[in-house]
Amino acid sequence: MSCIFCKIIAGEIPSTKLFEDDQFIAIKDLHPQAAVHVLVIPKKHVVSLDEAFPSDGSGDTEFIGKLMATGTRVARERGLLPGGFRSVINTGAGGGQSVFHLHLHILGGGSMSGKFG
């Protein structure tokens, strides 16, 4: 297994875990881009939204809904609500994805300058 997030999920490399249930973990990003920067990672290895939602329309919308719900829960628990937060999913190299195991970024705290910077 070469996937860094699968290794984190398996406890083979350390992380700062903020949340865990049967389907997801939430950890602190190693290189935070905001005062609060959390990654919500499905325990199941799915590469990206491209893999999650194939062109045949068979994607699991409930699974992605739970990913968003978990991100919102973690954002609230980290004190980002009601102020607000940013949620980002990068898809593919062209979308800036660097770890090819689907994950949701939750960013907030302080001023979030630049819409997509």
Q: Which stretch binds ligand AMP (CB under 6 A): 17-25, 51-59, 66-74, 93-101?
A: 93-101
103 is catalytic: yes
**Residue 50 interacts with ligand AMP (CB under 6 A)?**
no
Q: Are 106 and 36 in contact (CB under 8 A)?
A: yes
User: Prior bond to 82 cis, omega within 30?
Assistant: yes
Give the residue, chosen from 24, 97, 106, 107, that forms a contact with ligand AMP under the rule CB under 6 A: 97
Q: Are 75 and 108 in contact (CB under 8 A)?
A: yes
**Residue 45 interacts with Zn ion (CB under 5 A)?**
yes
**Residue 98 interacts with ligand AMP (CB under 6 A)?**
yes
Residues contributing to the site for ligand AMP (CB under 6 A): 4, 15, 27, 29-31, 39, 90, 96-99
Residues contributing to the site for Zn ion (CB under 5 A): 3, 5-6, 45, 101
